[in-house]
């Protein structure tokens, strides 16, 4: 039995400074559940968290990390991110949490503030662990996500233009069309033409690209290959930045469903990360509701 290939499932962010990044983008869902009134039109007013003013200069610097339609939107997002950070730091200090910055696994360093937020969230956020029946239900509802990739066994003949001008590209295109019509759907004729005419190293393998997945070829070539029937040579060569491609599809191998047992751990990790994010958002919302915040609303869904 061939080894089943488990597709990559991107997990959601877990504890630590990542939470601060999520808050910068408004993704943490913090605030009062989407029902708080939108802040007044921004006037770059004073922002305070429990009486502590956020440095206007720091907000101005933070704006570069929050692309928006205009400066006012960027200012609101930056002010919200720094206000939330201050709120979390105040809570960490109130609880007398100590966490010096450390070097992470990738060689980067964590600031003292980031370490404090990490320690606070790790101590305060207690998500529920996903149950097997929940993971299985997610699998049943998303079966199309859990398949081996479709594979395309394809070949090509690359005709490179002899120059960068339009005339050179036109001449190469004419030659590619001539070859496409000459070989037709004859596999042996295609292989011979590839060995004789193709500018790609695959010419030594009769033009074979092997078995390719979606995303491994430039989009225009991939799209053209998928439009072919098995055993068909495309009569219209496809242009890419490399030149003109005469394409042939030999076989299409459809992906196969993966059993639940093969993806259970991936699903469990993903759902655990989601549960942590939701629990962290509830924790932050509780802090925000009890805090005295001026000049900005800590609500990712306020529409501002």
264/125 same-domain check? yes
The per-residue pLDDT for 98 is 81
268/236 same-domain check? no
Tell me whether residue 271 is in a domain. Answer: yes
How far is Cα 195 from Cα 185, in angstroms, rounded to an integer? 16
The per-residue pLDDT for 111 is 84
Tell me whether residue 175 is in a domain. Answer: yes
The per-residue pLDDT for 205 is 95
190/278 same-domain check? no
Give which of 125, 126, 124, 146 is closest to 135, Cα–Cα.
146
Confidence (pTM): 0.59
124/265 same-domain check? yes
Q: Which domain holds residue 229?
A: 151-253
Number of domains in the chain: 2
35/113 same-domain check? yes
226/87 same-domain check? no
177/106 same-domain check? no
Tell me whether residue 287 is in a domain. Answer: yes
**pLDDT, tens digit, 9 for 90 and up, residues 42-53:** 457 899 999 999
The per-residue pLDDT for 45 is 82
209/167 same-domain check? yes
126/158 same-domain check? no
């Amino acid at each position: 039995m061939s080894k089943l290939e488990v597709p990559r499932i991107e997990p959601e962010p877990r504890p630590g400074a990542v939470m601060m990044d999520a808050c910068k983008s408004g993704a943490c869902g913090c605030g009062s559940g989407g029902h708080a009134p939108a802040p007044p039109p921004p006037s770059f007013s004073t922002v305070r968290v429990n009486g502590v003013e956020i440095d206007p200069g720091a907000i101005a610097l933070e704006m570069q990390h929050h692309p928006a339609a205009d400066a006012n939107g960027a200012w609101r997002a930056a002010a919200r991110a720094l206000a939330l950070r201050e709120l979390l730091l105040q809570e960490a200090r109130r609880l007398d949490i100590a966490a010096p910055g450390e070097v992470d696994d990738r060689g980067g360093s964590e600031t003292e503030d980031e370490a404090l937020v990490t320690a606070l969230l790790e101590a305060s956020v207690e998500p529920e662990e996903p149950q097997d029946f929940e993971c299985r239900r997610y699998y049943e509802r998303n079966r199309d996500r859990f398949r081996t990739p479709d594979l395309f066994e394809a070949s090509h003949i690359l005709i490179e233009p002899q120059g960068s001008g339009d005339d050179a590209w036109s001449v190469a295109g004419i030659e590619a069309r001539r070859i496409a019509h000459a070989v037709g759907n004859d596999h042996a004729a295609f292989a011979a033409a590839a060995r004789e005419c193709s500018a790609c190293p695959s010419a030594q393998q009769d033009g074979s690209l092997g078995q390719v997945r979606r995303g491994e070829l430039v989009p225009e070539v991939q799209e053209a290959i998928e439009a072919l029937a098995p055993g068909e040579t495309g009569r219209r060569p496809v242009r890419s930045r490399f030149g003109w491609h005469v394409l042939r599809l030999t076989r299409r191998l459809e992906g196969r469903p993966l059993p639940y047992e093969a993806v259970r751990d991936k699903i469990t990790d993903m759902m655990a990360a989601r549960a942590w994010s939701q629990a962290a958002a509830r924790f932050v919302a509780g802090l925000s509701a009890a805090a005295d915040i001026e000049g900005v609303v800590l609500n990712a869904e306020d529409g501002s």
